[in-house]
Structure 1
Amino acid sequence: MDKRKLQKRLTGLISFKTDTIIPIDLFKLETPKEIDWSDFFQDRYDYSYRPVQTLREELPERIPVAQKSVRDYLMEQLHLNSRDKKTDRIGEYIIDSLNEDGFLDTDVDEIAKVFNVTEEKVTETLKLIQTFDPPGVGSRTLEECLMVQLYMNGYDDNSVEVAIVKNFLREVGSKDINKIKKRLNISQMRVQEAIDVISSLNPKPLRGFGSSVIRYIIPDIIVKEIDGDFEVILNESTLPGLKINSYYREILSEKESLLREEKDFIKQKLTSALNLMRGLEERRRSILKVARFIIEKQKEFLREGISKLVPLTMQQVAEAVGLHESTISRIVHGKYIDTPIGLFELKFFFSGAITGENNIDISTRSIKERIKLLIEEEDKNQPLHDQEIVEILKKEGINIARRTVAKYRKQLGILPVRYRKGG
Structure 2
Amino acid sequence: MSDPQTPTTDPIDAEFEPAESETAQETHADEKPARKSSSGGPGWLSLLFVMLVAFGALGLSLWSSGLLQKGLEPDETATGLAAMTDRQGELASRIDTLEQQLTEVSARIDRLSGDVEALGAAAPTSATPAEASAVDEGALADLATRIEALEEAQENQPASTSSIDPQRVADLEAALQSLDSESAPTSAEIAALKQEVSSLRARVQQLASAQSALEEAGAETSRRAEDARRSATTAAESALAIASIENAIATGASFQASAKRLLALQPASDAAAALERLSRGPVPSLAMLQGRFDELKADALDRDSQAAGEPGWVDTIFGDMVSVRRGSGASIVPEILSQAEAALEAGDLEEAISTLEGLPEESRAVYADWLTYARNRVDAQSAIDVLRLEFAAQTP
Tell whether the structures are fold-level matches, with TM greater than 0.5: no
Considering fraction of residues, name the structure with more strand.
1
* Structure ID, larger Rg: 2
| TM-score after normalising by structure 2 | 0.25
Considering fraction of residues, name the structure with more helix.
2
